[in-house]
Amino acid sequence: MEKSGKRGKLLNAIRLELIIARNILKSLYYNLRIHFSNKSLSENHFNYWSEPDHVNFAAFQKIESLMGGKPQVIIETGTSAWGTESTRFWDAYVRKYGGEVWSVDIRSEPKKRLKFQTSRRTHLTIGDSVEFLASDTVENPTIVFLDSWDVDWSNPKPAAVHGLKEFKSVLPKLQAGSYIFIDDSPSTLDYIAAINQDQANEYLREEGVLPGKGADVLKMLEKGGVEPIFHKYSMILETPDKWEFKDHS
């Protein structure tokens, strides 16, 4: 049994190294490809690393437009080396336009999977996202992407609670005109799988908002004050001169 366990660990380690090697080659080709492409970074990214019809494609098109080809200081919670592969998107942006990316994840695997594939402008950190956001590691970020706690649609409250903790932690660092991009915060039931829609409706009746990572953030925002400037499956907020909030426990 012990030998079998060691063999399994060895095979997993070899498999991971093969994935990394493959992705290093893919990254080299991708960086060359986008250098000569007339398409937007979001188009290139979702066509190459994800899916053209991905539920988040429109949100990344929007944030790319808002960044406007200017240098950005970007914080990402939840390093992404699969799915949306958002860490690669942010890295491609600062490669082209300048700035820095700071991505934090409590797991070590995402950083391992991205080994040798990001530029020197991108810093991959292992740790607690709330603590990282509250630290003085990054001051005055211009883009904050909150995506660290996977939503369990059968029990979505923990993701909402964590999303609010992240939001509160980063608030003191945000200056007017910066953007907060919160993933997995659907605006309508259409974005929630049919199997989870009854529970989502119950959540809506109890909480006043649909479930998601940004659910408690939405509850905190003052009605008639700050509302998302973009809201589909994910939402984007623009930092105002002054935040106005409802009482929120």
Local confidence band at 12 (pLDDT 50, 70, 90 cut-offs): confident
Q: Within 13 Å, how many C-alpha atoms sit on residue 165's CB side? A: 15
Domains of the chain, earliest start first? 2-238 (3.40.50.150)
165 within 8 A of 201, measured Cβ to Cβ: no
DSSP lists the bridge partners of residue 77 as 104, 146
C-alpha to C-alpha distance for 161 and 156, rounded to whole angstroms: 9
CB atoms within 10 A of CB 163: 28
pTM of the shown model: 0.92
The pLDDT score that the predictor gives to residue 82 is 77
Q: Please write the tens of the pLDDT for every residue from 54-109.
A: 999 999 999 999 999 999 999 999 998 778 999 999 999 999 999 999 999 999 99
The mean pLDDT of the chain is 92
Residue closest to 75 by CA, chosen among 3, 21, 124: 124
Our measurement of the distance from residue 23's CA atom to the centroid of its chain's CA atoms, rounded to an integer in Å, reads 20
Residue 136 has pLDDT above 70, yes or no: yes
C-alpha to C-alpha distance for 215 and 71, rounded to whole angstroms: 30
145 within 8 A of 86, measured Cβ to Cβ: yes
Q: Which two tokens mark 148?
A: 């660290």
Q: Please write the tens of the pLDDT for every residue from 175-220.
A: 999 999 999 999 999 999 999 999 999 999 999 999 999 999 999 9
164 within 8 A of 150, measured Cβ to Cβ: no
DSSP lists the bridge partners of residue 100 as 73
Residue closest to 187 by CA, chosen among 246, 229, 240, 249: 229
